[in-house]
Structure formats: C-alpha cells, structure tokens
Amino acid sequence: MKTTRNTAAKTAVLEIFGKSKTALSHTEIQKQIGDLCDRVTIYRILDRLVNDDIVHKIVNLDGTVKYAKCHHHAQRVHIHNHAHFSCENCLEITCLENVKPSYILPHNYKVNDINFTLSGLCPNCLNSNN
Amino acid sequence: MKTTRNTAAKTAVLEIFGKSKTALSHTEIQKQIGDLCDRVTIYRILDRLVNDDIVHKIVNLDGTVKYAKCHHHAQRVHIHNHAHFSCENCLEITCLENVKPSYILPHNYKVNDINFTLSGLCPNCLNSNN
DNA sequence: ATTTTAAAAGCAACTATGTTGCATTAAAAT
DNA sequence: ATTTTAATGCAACATAGTTGCTTTTAAAAT
C-alpha cells in the first residue's frame, strides 16, 4: 500500500488551508506559496489531499475550481453533501457545513456524489450594500 | 435595444439541441456542426442563448461545462433550480426537471442562483450492470 | 428593390488551467 | 548509512475559453 510523505510543499499548502476561512483555488495557493515549489507540484499535492479526504474539491457555477479543508470526522462513507456558497461580489466560496439539501429522486438512479452550490451575496457583502 | 438575429449557425445549434435528450458541451456541438462555422462562433452563440434564457449552462462536478435547452415557460424570475444528473459511466448529463432541492439557509445570505448536481449511475447504466 | 446599420462571423493570437513524461531529489523505512 | 520509491522540477503539451479587429450578412429603413 502506498504511503504518503510529509514534504515541505505539502506542509506549506496545509498551513495555507489552515489559515483560510474560505475555499482556495490553485492560483490563490500558488500566490501564497511563491516559489517554494513548482505549480505542477501544487496540482499534485491537491490531488493527493483530495484522494486522502483531507480537502475536498468544489466546482463553482462559473466553472472555477476551489479546494477546502474537510471538517467531517472519520465517516465511513464520505460524501461531501453539504452546500457551498459562492458570493457574486467578493467571489469567496464558503462551506455551509450544516446546510444539507433534501430531495426526491426518480427511480433507478444511483447517487454517489452531490454538488449543491448556491450563489448570491454573502452576509458581508449584503451588509455593505453595494 | 439589442435585437438578436437568426443566423445559419444559430439555427444549426438550436436544431442540435432539439435533437438531443442530454446536455451538450461546446466540443460536442462543434463535432456536429463540422465546418459550418468557427468554434469561436459557437462560443458566442451559446453565450447569446444563455443570455436569452433559451439554454442554460451546467457545470459538472468534474468541471466540464454543458448546455441544455430550457423547458420552463416564461417565468418572470428565472432560476434554474432543478437538478442535473451526471452519469459516471456514460458521462451524459440529463436535467431532472422535477427534482427540486429543499434546504434551510443561515440568515443574511441572498441566493440568486442554484446549482444542484447529482452524480452516479443513470438508469441505463445501472441496468446494464457494468 | 436598394441602401443602411449594427449584429454576427471569421481568423489569428492570446490566456488560463490542467496534464504528462522523464530525470532528479529526498522522506522514511531498513 | 543504504535503499526504496514517493515527490519534485522542468519542459512540453492539451484543452477550454477570450479578445481584437476586419469582413460579412440579417433585417430594418428607405
């Protein structure tokens, strides 16, 4: 079985996730990393972290891809069925951990994964009425 | 006010949408269009159709972008809050027009748009047990 | 029917995002 | 200290989408 190593670059990426309250794109991470590692390395680190269920991948309505730390605690079957909120003004994406959609599906569909993204204005941008 | 014109390319694109039961990507449309028009033109036609609420844009879990005809009938406020199903096997995306998620949101969020995508196995692929 | 006008198309160039192959480096087990 | 192989760096490539500018053409005005 494959072991995963703790490298300087991976540690740096995890630290960046730790400090951020919102989801981050590859580009945003790269800006913070600077030249500590190659941009390809960041892609590969993100792949690994997603694979190890340490972060999850979020695809926004506009097609932008972001990543956020997982906050679940060792669930056996792991579906990221919580909602994500994408602010049209500040462009930040936040996980709404406790918002779970309920729905009724037609027969004969087997669901393995769910993406539920809401977009609009976040509390911050709603208050500063612009 | 801007008027929208009926061009040969636009007609062709609409015909392709008419024939398809599933959502289509730019590439899939381009393949069917052949050299009837430039690929940039297809992008611009899709933009216009989305703007005119004739098709809607669907961003899949894997980041692929597809388009599908709208089936609503002249609603004033137009939110595409129906679900989309993305099959992991045949990669087809279908609109589940009648599946609408219900959810409870924290205060101070203003929702303008919703993306609810389910992925797994569609009835076709579920039956042919592979 | 002809002229006018601006929407739409064509084309080339560019940007952004993500991937792959391969040689090199380094984490961690021995 | 040596060994093993995961991880990295780098170059090249692939795909998706955008932009500027000229030309074409749908459709309105004459």
Cα–Cα–Cα angle for A69, A72, A76, rounded to 5 degrees: 125
| CATH code at A8-71+79-127 | 1.10.10.10
Kindly list the residues from chain B whose CB atom is less than 8 angstroms away from the CB atom of residue A83. Answer: 103
B17 versus B4: the higher-pLDDT residue is B17
Q: How far is B13 from chain A (nearest CA, A)?
A: 22
Q: At the topology level of CATH, where does B8-127 sit?
A: Arc Repressor Mutant, subunit A (1.10.10)
What is the average pLDDT value for chain B, to the nearest integer? 87
User: Contact, B90 vs B58, CB < 8 A?
Assistant: no
Compute the average pLDDT of residues B2-6: 86
Closest Cα in chain B to A107: B123
Nucleotides of strand D lying closer than 7 angstroms to a protein CB: 6-12, 15-20, 25-28
Q: How far is A87 from chain B (nearest CA, A)?
A: 9
Q: How many CB atoms lie within 10 A of CB A13?
A: 27
pLDDT band, residue B82 (cuts 50/70/90): confident
Compute the average pLDDT of residues B71-97: 75
The answer to whether some atom of strand D lies closer than 7 Å to the beta carbon of A6 is: no
Is the pLDDT score of A106 beyond 90?
A: no
Task: For residue A89, give the nearest of A58, A60, A120 by alpha carbon.
Answer: A120
The answer to whether some atom of strand D lies closer than 7 Å to the beta carbon of B11 is: no
In whole angstroms, what is the distance from residue A16 CA to residue A24 CA?
Answer: 9
The tokens for A109 are 């569909």
CA separation, residue A48 to residues A2, A31, A55, A71, A81 (Å): 11, 20, 9, 17, 20
Query: pLDDT at position A11, please?
Result: 97
The answer to whether some atom of strand D lies closer than 7 Å to the beta carbon of A62 is: no
Domain boundaries, chain A: 8-71+79-127
User: Contact, B80 vs B56, CB < 8 A?
Assistant: yes
pLDDT band, residue A129 (cuts 50/70/90): low
